[in-house]
Every structure is written in C-alpha cells, then in structure tokens.
Amino acid sequence: MTGFVSFVGSGPGDPELLTLKAVDRLKRADAVLFDDLSSGPILGHARAGADLVGVGKRAGRPSPNQRHVSQLLVDYALEGGRVVRLKSGDSGLFGRLEEELVALREAGISYEIIPGVPSAIAAAAAHGIPLTRRLTARRVQFVTGHDVTGELPSDLSLDALADPTASTVVFMGKRTFPKLAAELIARGLPEDTPALLAEGVSTPEQAMHRMTIGALVERLSGEIGSAPALILYGPLAEPE
C-alpha cells in the first residue's frame, strides 16, 4: 500500500513557531527527511523510532542532488509509511518544492502541504517592526539572491527592486548583494535606504544588524560568514 507525504514548513528554526498540524505530522511520521535549518530541537517532536534523514542544501557546502532527494522521498512513500518532508520557513518559498511534488505525482503518491512561518515574517517580528510600514510601503516583494549557479539571477526586475515604496526581502543573498545593490543604486535607490541583515532568525545565534544599504554593501564586501541570513530593505520602521 502506497504511503503518504506531508510537506511541513518548519518555520525559521524556533520549535515554538511550529504549527499544531506540523507537530502532529512529526509525531506520527515513520520517516522525516529534513533540511539543515529544520534540524536541532525541531526534530525532538519526531516519533521515537522514525528514520531521520538529512537532505539539506547549504550554499558553499556539499549537498545532496535534488534528483536523489526526490527519489528518496518516493522510495520511503512506496514502503507504505507516513513521510514528512521537513522544510525550513514555508516550503513554498524558494524551497525546491515543485520538483518534489512532480516526483510524487509521477509515482502516484498522495501528499499534503502544511504552511510554515516564513522567515521573512519572522525576521521583521524578531526585530520588532512591521514588514510593511503604514502609509509608506505599498508593496512587499520576495526575491532570491542567487540562481542555480550561485550567481545573482540575470532576469531580476531591477526597476521593481529599486522601488523605494516597496519592502523587499532578499533570500540567500549575502554573497551577491553588493552586485545587486550597485544595480539598484544606479537605478535611483538611495544609498541611505534602511536595510536589515537578519542572521539565524529565531535561533540562539540570531543577530540583527540595522544599517543603510551603502553600509551593508561595505559589510558584505568582506567576510560574510556562514550563518543563514535574510536582507530586508526599503521603508522599514525603526524598532521601539
């Protein structure tokens, strides 16, 4: 009998930000395939005896091939058990979810998608600010800072990203942000636009660095470290 897969968004890392449904699926799972940022205390909710398989990808580190990850998911489900694919943040945001869904559909395996707290929302909350500033921010935009080659995507809408009325969140962009910022400044985005570098959001290693875009470029032009991070910029309110 074919098993069932639950794609579970684990949130940014704090186990208290898991949804009740996410905890329920972890407690009932026969196998949990987890990302690096979904490990640690979050796995404490997994059922005793469940197979725990790390399949995470981190920039600059050896990572499992996506085809291999998708095949693992199919193989576990074909054994007839309950499988959790645990993804950081919300699994639908820059999480390679679509490739894994296609693999399951082709194998005739049923699934569900359980939303998680997006790291962008958690970063603003952790810093004590709204992501959209009333009367100033007219739009929110999420963008990836690198493509499959690890470079800044060449097809970004730079005019949209330079819009001073938009709150923008850059995922996985520490290494490429200086290049992106140069393009945005050339299109009129002021160098003194507020920016926030949010590292290790909701984990014990959390660090928030508020500065201008110009100062952030200078910071990221040196040693960037290995901590997972988001970059927020635009009409960000001052924390109280």
- Burial per residue of 25-43, b for 16 or more beta-carbon CB atoms within 10 angstroms, e otherwise: bbeebbbbbbbebbbeebb
SS3 105: helix
| Residue from 199, 155, 150, 200 nearest 175 by CA | 150
Residues 6+ apart with CB under 8 A from 19: 9, 114, 115, 116
**Is position 211 annotated as part of the catalytic site?**
no
Q: Which of 14, 35, 90, 163 is catalytic?
A: 35
Q: Which of 14, 87, 90, 172 is catalytic?
A: 172
* Cα 77 from Cα 73, distance rounded (Å): 6
Q: Which of 57, 179, 208, 211 is catalytic?
A: 57
**Is position 35 annotated as part of the catalytic site?**
yes
| Residue from 178, 188, 193, 181 nearest 236 by CA | 193
Q: Which two tokens stand for residue 10?
A: 């684990």
**Is position 163 annotated as part of the catalytic site?**
no
Cite the active site residues: 35, 57, 172
